[in-house]
């Protein structure tokens, strides 16, 4: 049973929260009592998620913006602090997946994929840190992937490189931030049943992958959301700099 008071008094930003795993995380944190800021480059999708959150009793606002834009990110954090007093929890979920082989990756596409996944994680973390330091408490959860530890199942090398970079960034920021009461961790999902995955591979290929996993199905966004909620809570207060796998046994190291 979900503790509806676990995140009471906490404000959480979820980037890329307009769909998929981000939306599931926003809903789960709201169920735990957090005030939730849903960010997405698609402002309409962020607003739709906020409508659902409010209908279930969660205090929530939508803030459209691109995580690759320092200006947009600073505005997102400023609006959060103005509305809720602080940023306590940051979920760096925003991501872009492209399956392009290296020989065919144009520079613009490389910059997009690495920018959204890796630069966005850095920009949002940097912007949220002053508020967390002032509060003496903070949780940053970054979205890496099994790609960060091996290679991507369906994405290209730019996606793999970005997700590996997130793991290094997570470790480094965790060491810098521990003295301020801030933990920084990564989750590493495998193949999760999201719109992004379904738009990248056809149903037959998705089934073939699922059948090859020890737990022979795709993961559910709600399952990833449970792991994220744990890392964002006081239950995980002695975990930092870690990368937690959730992949149905697809990658065991």
Count of alpha carbons within 13 Å of 42, Cβ hemisphere only?
12
Burial 102-133 (b: 16+ CB within 10 A, else e): eeeeeeeebeebbbbbbbbbbbbbebbbebbe
The catalytic residues are: 159
Rounded Cα distance, 14 and 232, in Å: 12
Q: What is the rounded CA–CA span in Å between residue 155 and residue 151?
A: 8
Q: Which residue, 229, 233, 243, is CA-closest to 172?
A: 243
Give whole-number Cα distances, 49 to 40, 43, 80, in Å.
Answer: 10, 10, 17
């Amino acid at each position: 049973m979900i503790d509806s008071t676990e995140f009471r008094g906490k404000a959480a930003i979820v980037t890329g929260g307009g769909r998929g795993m981000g939306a599931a995380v926003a809903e789960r944190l709201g169920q735990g009592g957090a005030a939730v800021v849903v960010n997405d480059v698609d402002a309409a999708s962020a607003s739709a998620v906020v409508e659902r959150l409010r209908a279930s009793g969660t205090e929530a606002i939508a803030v459209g913006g691109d995580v690759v834009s320092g200006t947009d990110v600073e505005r997102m954090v400023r609006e959060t602090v103005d509305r809720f007093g602080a940023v306590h929890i940051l979920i760096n979920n925003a991501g872009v997946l492209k399956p392009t082989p290296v020989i065919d990756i144009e520079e613009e596409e490389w910059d997009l994929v690495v920018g959204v996944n890796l630069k966005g994680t850095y920009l949002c973390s940097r912007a949220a840190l002053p508020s967390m330091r002032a509060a003496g408490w903070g949780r940053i959860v970054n979205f890496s992937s099994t790609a960060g530890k091996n290679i991507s199942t369906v994405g290209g090398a730019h996606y793999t490189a970005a997700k590996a970079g997130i793991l290094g960034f997570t470790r480094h920021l965790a060491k810098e931030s521990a003295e301020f009461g801030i933990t920084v961790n990564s989750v590493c999902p495998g193949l999760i049943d999201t719109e992004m995955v379904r738009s990248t591979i056809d149903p037959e290929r998705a089934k073939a992958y699922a059948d090859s996993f020890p737990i022979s199905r795709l993961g559910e966004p709600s399952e990833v959301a449970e792991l994220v909620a744990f890392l964002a809570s006081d239950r995980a207060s002695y975990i930092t700099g870690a990368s937690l796998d959730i992949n149905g046994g697809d990658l065991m190291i």
